[in-house]
Chain A
Amino acid sequence: AQRVTQPEKLLSVFKGAPVELKCNYSYSGSPELFWYVQYSRQRLQLLLRHISRESIKGFTADLNKGETSFHLKKPFAQEEDSAMYYCALSGGNQGGKLIFGQGTELSVKP
């Protein structure tokens, strides 16, 4: 079954601390993995996609096919990073459909 799992509903850290939001997936094939972010009452925005291998707002994510993971990391969290983060998967046979994880709420405290 195709599935995306984000094991943490809420992650609370202090400003300046490292952050890692976990994402594991189940997919038989070569998926495209994405991280989307939703700031309070705003639309979802693309944060990262694994194929571009870039750093956005200090966040990085590496696709680990052996562990079927795509964890999102940032070395020093900022208060403005507080948001809802969704990991999502798209497969070649899915017509562009995204399968989302349950989401992790990141709270960065001052």
Chain B
Amino acid sequence: NAGVTQTPKFQVLKTGQSMTLQCAQDMNHNSMYWYRQDPGMGLRLIYYSASEGTTDKGEVPNGYNVSRLNKREFSLRLESAAPSQTSVYFCASSGQRNQPQHFGDGTRLSIL
């Protein structure tokens, strides 16, 4: 029972490089989310997808793009990585509005 799976777990990039973080869930959830976790800031929502075919900006969308490829998969892309995007990125999913979210293990991303 995998739940939410994120790849890769770790990545180091140089400034200006591009990267796609992958997320897949096997719980048949409608909604998926991308957060970044920074010390002292908690988790901040980058983008979310309330259902297949829709995406919306969260609190900190600048510098990111997302794709809801199908119901299972929701990817996050950094087109031109910047040091300020060094963070731990979490993907989450939920079945219905206001239901608890299930999180992946996270991706530790360092941008030099």
Query: Which residues from chain A sit less than 8 Å from chain B, CB to CB?
Result: 4, 6, 9, 32, 34, 36, 42-46, 49, 86, 90, 92, 95-103
Beyond the given A86-B42, A96-B101, could you list 12 further A-B residue pairs with CB under 8 A, ordered by the A residue number? A32-B98, A43-B4, A43-B104, A43-B105, A46-B101, A95-B56, A96-B97, A96-B98, A96-B99, A97-B58, A98-B43, A100-B44
Q: Given A42-B105, A96-B50, do A103 and B42 touch, yes or no (CB 8 Å)?
A: yes
Chain B: residues with Cβ within 8 Å of the partner, total of 28
Q: How many A-B residue pairs have CB under 8 A?
A: 61
How many whole Å from A69's CB to the nearest CB in chain B? 17
CA of A90 to CA of B33 in the docked complex: distance in angstroms?
A: 13
Q: Is the interface of A mostly helix, strand, loop or mixed?
A: loop
Please judge, given known A-B contacts A86-B43, A97-B58, A102-B42, whether A92 and B97 are in contact too, CB under 8 Å. yes
